């Protein structure tokens, strides 16, 4: 782990590097996929079509949300790989798998934010899926958005973060 958990704030480059490391670790270990990261986006993506979004919130010394957004077609492949069985429809398994990926990403980021683990709490994952939806953050938190690709499929991992006073 390359970041210093005792640092009061993290630069966007540091957070981006950690998101990339955490995402690649989760995917290579639990999904048997090897995603490649692309250049970070300057602005968050808010509108999604035929997609699924998994989110986990942080509260405590730091507050924010880590989220993974991916097209349903890729989410079906991810779920099939995780479960070791074919998954070809949007169902509870799909929601659970994407929620669990968000949970593992949240756990990895939490470890950077809180060495001890008690001053930052993780929420239970939330999953949204639909043909056309928007996700908006109402806070003025810093935002890091990393696009990834796996073969021809693309997905996004985003992190909004605020250090509480």
Partner 1 sequence: MANILIVDDSSTMRKIISRSLRQAGLPVDEIFEAGDGIEGLSVIASGKTIGLILSDINMPNMDGLEFIKQVRANGNTVPVVMITTEGGEEIIKEAMSNGASDSIKKPFTPDQLQEKLGKLI
- Distance (Å, rounded) from C-alpha 144 to C-alpha 30? 23
R_g over Cα of the chain? 15
Q: If binding is defined by CB under 8 A, does position 55 make contact with partner 1?
A: no
- Which span (7-15, 26-34, 44-52, 59-67) binds partner 1, by CB under 8 A? 26-34
Token readout for 78 is: 């991810």
CB 164 within 8 A of CB 63: yes
Q: If binding is defined by CB under 8 A, does position 82 make contact with partner 1?
A: yes
Q: If binding is defined by CB under 8 A, does position 79 make contact with partner 1?
A: yes
Token readout for 22 is: 């955490």
Neighbours of 61 (CB within 10 A): 15
Q: If binding is defined by CB under 8 A, does position 26 make contact with partner 1?
A: yes
Q: If binding is defined by CB under 8 A, does position 13 make contact with partner 1?
A: no
What lies within 8 Å, CB to CB, of 46 at 6+ separation is 134, 135, 136
Contact string (CB under 8 A) for partner 1, positions 98-137, x = contact: -xx--xx-xxx-xx--xxxxx---x-x-------------
Neighbours of 40 (CB within 10 A): 17
Minimum Å gap between C-beta 161 and partner 1 is 17
Minimum Å gap between C-beta 43 and partner 1 is 28
Residues that bind partner 1 (CB under 8 A): 25-26, 29-30, 79, 82-84, 92-93, 96-97, 99-100, 103-104, 106-108, 110-111, 114-118, 122, 124
């Amino acid at each position: 782990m390359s970041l210093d958990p005792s640092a009061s704030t993290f630069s966007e480059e540091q957070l981006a590097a950690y998101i990339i490391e955490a995402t690649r670790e989760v995917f290579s270990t639990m999904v048997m996929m090897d995603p490649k990261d692309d250049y970070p986006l300057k602005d968050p993506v808010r509108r999604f079509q035929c997609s699924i979004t998994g989110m986990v919130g942080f509260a405590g010394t730091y507050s924010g949300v880590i989220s993974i957004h991916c097209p349903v077609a890729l989410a079906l492949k991810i779920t099939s790989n995780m479960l070791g069985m074919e998954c070809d429809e949007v169902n509870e398994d799909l929601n659970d798998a994407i929620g669990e990926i968000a949970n593992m990403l949240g756990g990895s980021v939490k470890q950077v934010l809180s060495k001890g683990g008690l001053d930052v709490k993780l929420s239970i994952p939330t999953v949204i899926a639909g043909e056309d939806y928007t996700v908006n953050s109402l806070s003025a938190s810093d935002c890091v958005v990393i696009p990834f690709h796996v073969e021809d499929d693309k997905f996004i991992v985003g992190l909004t973060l605020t250090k509480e006073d």
